[in-house]
Amino acid sequence: MDVRFNLFENQLAARFAKRFAGAGLLIHHSTLPRSTQELVSLRASQINGCGHCIDMHTKEAAAAGESAVRLHLVAAWRESTVFTEAEQAALALAEEGTRLADAAPGVSDETWALARKHYDDDQLAALVALVALINAANRLAVIVHQPGGSYEPGMFSAAFDD
């Protein structure tokens, strides 16, 4: 697969990326656990078929100490015993928030209540923003055919520096 358009070399895209990274920085520094952030980003990216983001979030999670077992089981989290109830609530919200076209009600009241049970207002705000942001990132990468495989942990850490 060849990259259609290099978003990192275009001036307008670079300016957009800077603002996009700023939004990501707010989430990154929130009280939503970093492991939950990576699991949610990974699951949405799996659903959207974004190899670039799957590559990035798998490697970032592993570099942060996430176990290979948990990373391998994200796609089948409902049939797994390695995720906490809070993580399951976040993954359910991520799935329903990603599959909007597949489910008429969007995020169900049951899923919202589960997320509400485990996350405070700031964490919930971060979780909702994260689901929106990773879905946008997936679309950017998929549209231009940004391939997975070459990401190195920390590659974009400059975007998260204060």
Tell me the per-residue pLDDT of 45-72, one tens digit each, with 9 for 90 and over: 999 999 999 999 999 999 999 999 999 9
Question: pLDDT-based confidence at 156, cuts 50/70/90?
Answer: confident
Cβ proximity of 141 and 53 under 8 Å: yes
Enter the pTM of the model: 0.93
Tell me the per-residue pLDDT of 107-133, one tens digit each, with 9 for 90 and over: 999 999 999 999 999 999 999 999 999
CA-based Rg of the chain, rounded to a whole angstrom? 15
Tell me the per-residue pLDDT of 140-152, one tens digit each, with 9 for 90 and over: 999 999 999 988 9
Cβ proximity of 161 and 18 under 8 Å: no
Q: For residues 108 and 121, what is the distance between their CA atoms, to the nearest angstrom?
A: 18
- Give the CA dihedral 109, 96, 154, 139, nearest 10 degrees: -140
